[in-house]
Every structure is written in C-alpha cells, then in structure tokens.
Structure 1
Amino acid sequence: MTDTVLSLVDARLTLAGNAGPIDILHGISLDITRGETVGLTGPSGSGKSSLLMLMGGLEQATGGTINALGHDLTSLGEDALARFRRDHMGVVFQSFHLIPTMTALENVATPLELAGKADAFDRAAEELAAVGLKDRIHHYPSQMSGGEQQRVALARAAAPRPEILLADEPTGNLDGATGEAIMDVLFGLRDRHGSTLVLVTHAPELAARCDRVIRLRDGALDTLAQAAE
C-alpha cells in the first residue's frame, strides 16, 4: 500500500490571455507522502499558488494528472471536487475569507454543518480553543485583529480533521511576531490531526520548518536549486 497522498504527473496549466494562451505551469511531476510537510517556494510569479490550487482542485489542470488520496482530480466535475475538498481537505488563504456577518464560532461550524456533522458547534469550539481563541468565539471578524482572523481561518480549515491541509501564504498579511505565532498554530494543528501539510511561502523561517522544500521557477520545478542543496 502506497503512502503517497498527492501525486502529480506532468501537470500543466495554461490560461487564456488577451494576447493568447499563457503557460502558468508546465510539466510538474512530484509525489507527497502521508504526514509530510512540504513548502512551496520561489520568486513571485513562479507558479507556487497555481500549483497549490491544482492540488486542491480549485483550478483545473489543462494537462497531465493530479491524484489525491486515490482520486483523479482531473476527471472530477466541480460538484464532485467540492465534495472531495469538504471531506478530505482544508484550505487556508492569505486573505482570511471569513463571513463578516457570522461569529468566529459560526464561521468554523458552517462547513461542518454543511457536511452533516451533528456536533458541528462543539467541534468548532474545540478548534477555536486549540488556536487560542476560547474567549473570542462569539466575536465577529470586524472585532478581531488580523492574527485572530487568521486563527479563525486555520480553525475552520482544521475542524473537519482533513487528511490534506493546504495553505497559501498563511502569514503573508501579518506582522513578524503575529506571523510567528500563526506558524506555531499551523504546525500544531498538523500535529494534532496528522494531516499532510503543503504550504506556499516567501518566508525562509517558515520553509525551514518543513520536511521538504520544493522550489519553482518560471512555472517548473527548479531542479538546479534543489540539486545544489
């Protein structure tokens, strides 16, 4: 039995632009194993976030295959992909994407309710306590700092106890001290749930905490940089 949870074979992404097709990613092949923490790094515009979106089925590959937990994401429609993410993945963005009219507790509980979990609010409260927000569960996003809002977003992603956790620049909108605290929370959630974690980051200190760093350049794996390590 393989321990590979994410497998990309010659994955490609081409988008339509005003001047014609734009190649975003070309020929990405890699495997990520269960419980591994992988950092995706590289210059701005190298394709890091696009690669993460392919892994989460949030962007449809235009070539190659992407397999997650034995499911071929390139063959699934939008509804099936949404169900797969709901049941198996947690996704955290640089922008928090909280619902402003809902409290922290309601924001975290909502995806659990949509998944039919009877204990949605109990689990939401448990996750918020785990990220240090036990006393803020009834506050709205506008009443919270950026760091607190990102903690809510992390709790929301972790509450379904996903096998795969994807994070796109989770500390990008935060100051240094707050970003450091969010890193601790993120890796703590990974340890609590045993999730495989893939994150995009420009922060060397965050990449250094990963089991493996994959560098991209111009939409491809930067094999020269990795060979030099």
Structure 2
Amino acid sequence: MKILHGISLDVQSGESLGLVGPSGSGKSSLLMLMGGLERASSGHVRALGQDLTTMNEDQLARFRRGNMGIVFQSFHLIPTMTALENVATPLELAGHDDAFDRAREELRAVGLEDRGDHYPSQMSGGEQQRVALARASAPRPKILLADEPTGNLDGANGAAIIDLLFGLRDRHGATLVLVTHAPELADRCDRVVHLRDGRIEETSAEAVA
C-alpha cells in the first residue's frame, strides 16, 4: 500500500518547515523518508547534495551521524545511561575527543546542567525531552528533524520545548523540519506544508513569532 503520492518538496538551507495534517496523512512517513529512516519505493530523496535513496544502511547511518539530529515524540533515551552519557553518545560515536565537554554545554543550553548524572527514570517527561533535544543538537547538525516533539508534554513543558527547539536551531543555523499537530508550533515555522491522504494539499508561509 502506498502511503505518499506524488510528493515534490524542496526545503531551503536554514529554513524551518512544519508538516501538518490529520492523523494518517503521511506526515511522519515523509519525515522518516527525509531522514533516511525509511526507503522510498520510487523517486529520490536528496539532502545536502547527496541522494539518500542510493545509500545502503551503513552509509545512511554515517550520513545521519554527521549531518542530522532527530527528535522523536517518545524521547528514545538509553535508560541505563545518565543524561550526560545520553548526550555524549553520538559525539563519542563520531570520534570527538571533547564529547563530554560538549555534552555538558548542550545540557546547559537546555537548562539541565544540574541533572547530568540523573537517569531517564529519575526525570520528568519535559526533562527527558530536553535531554533528547540536547542529544540531537550536540553534533551541531546541518538538518534537525522533529516528530511531534511536544506530543507527550503538557502545555507549559510543550511551550518550553518549542522555545528550546527554535533556539537550538538558531544557535547552530540548522535547517529544521518538524511534524506537529500543535498550531502554536507550526506558527513558528517559516513555511507550513499541509498533507492529506499522502499528498501535499497546500503550502503556506507563516509569520515567525
């Protein structure tokens, strides 16, 4: 069964793009294709001048490690690692000698410098999402992808995560693509793409708050 149909979408460097639409419209599937986490049955997905559809799994993993940060709704922190270790892990895998120093810097950026030695089970949902944001931004990716980053949070924590997400984007100059049902999050984007039944229904420019 085809999920997406006739999608043609260009995202400019440094742009913030919101993907919105009803449940089942293909938003998350499109984001996963853009991140090389799913494979397209036809067509091409190009990022930073490279064709992701021609890469094998190892090549895709290396490309993501060097160029992308991904934030999921469900955090996906490693439960047996502290916050500091979670944030340092992608830096260590990339061979950075200063992995833990950079991880501490990112935890400070999300207001969790005093929670570095805590495990995910010892933190609230909002704190866990902050750690996930710090982990995604620590390698200073050129592309930041977020799938419903406020979906599991209450209003106050969701608003804080929105501010942090765009703050990290501005800090590193990354291109931001996010899936959301939250109008207040979509309104912060430079452009919003509306999907329905696997197709782009409309595209609109939004005023950045």
TM-score normalised by length of structure 1: 0.88
Q: Does 1:126 align with 2:126?
A: no
What is the distance in 2 between the residues matched to 1:214 and 1:226? 7
> SS of the counterpart of 1:23?
coil
Gaps in structure 2 of 5+ consecutive residues: none
Q: Does 1:153 align with 2:132?
A: yes
Runs of 4+ in 1 over 4 A off after TM superposition: none
- What's the counterpart of residue 192 of structure 1? 171
- What's the counterpart of residue 115 of structure 2? 136
Which structure dedicates a bigger proportion of its chain to strand? 1
- What's the counterpart of residue 3 of structure 1? none
Q: Which amino acid aligns with 1:132?
A: G
CA change 1:128–1:218 in 2 (3 A) is same
> SS of the counterpart of 2:44?
strand
> SS of the counterpart of 2:6?
strand
Note the C-alpha offset of 1:226. 5.0
Q: Deviations over 1:72-124 (max 9, x none)?
A: 00000000000000000000000000011100000000110001000000000
Higher relative contact order (CA 8 A, sep 6+): 2
- What's the counterpart of residue 37 of structure 2? 58
- What's the counterpart of residue 206 of structure 1? 185
| 2:191–2:204 contact (8 Å) kept in structure 1 | no
Q: Deviations over 1:124-154 (max 9, x none)?
A: 0000000000110111001100000000000
| 2:150–2:158 contact (8 Å) kept in structure 1 | yes
What is the distance in 1 between the residues matched to 2:33 and 2:101? 32
TM-score normalised by length of structure 2: 0.97
Within a 5 Å distance, the mapping from 1:1-229 to structure 2 comes to 22-223=1-202
Give the number of equivalent residue pairs.
205
Note the C-alpha offset of 1:49. 0.1
Gaps in structure 1 of 5+ consecutive residues: 1-21
Q: Which amino acid aligns with 1:110?
A: T
Note the C-alpha offset of 1:23. 1.1
| 2:20–2:27 contact (8 Å) kept in structure 1 | yes
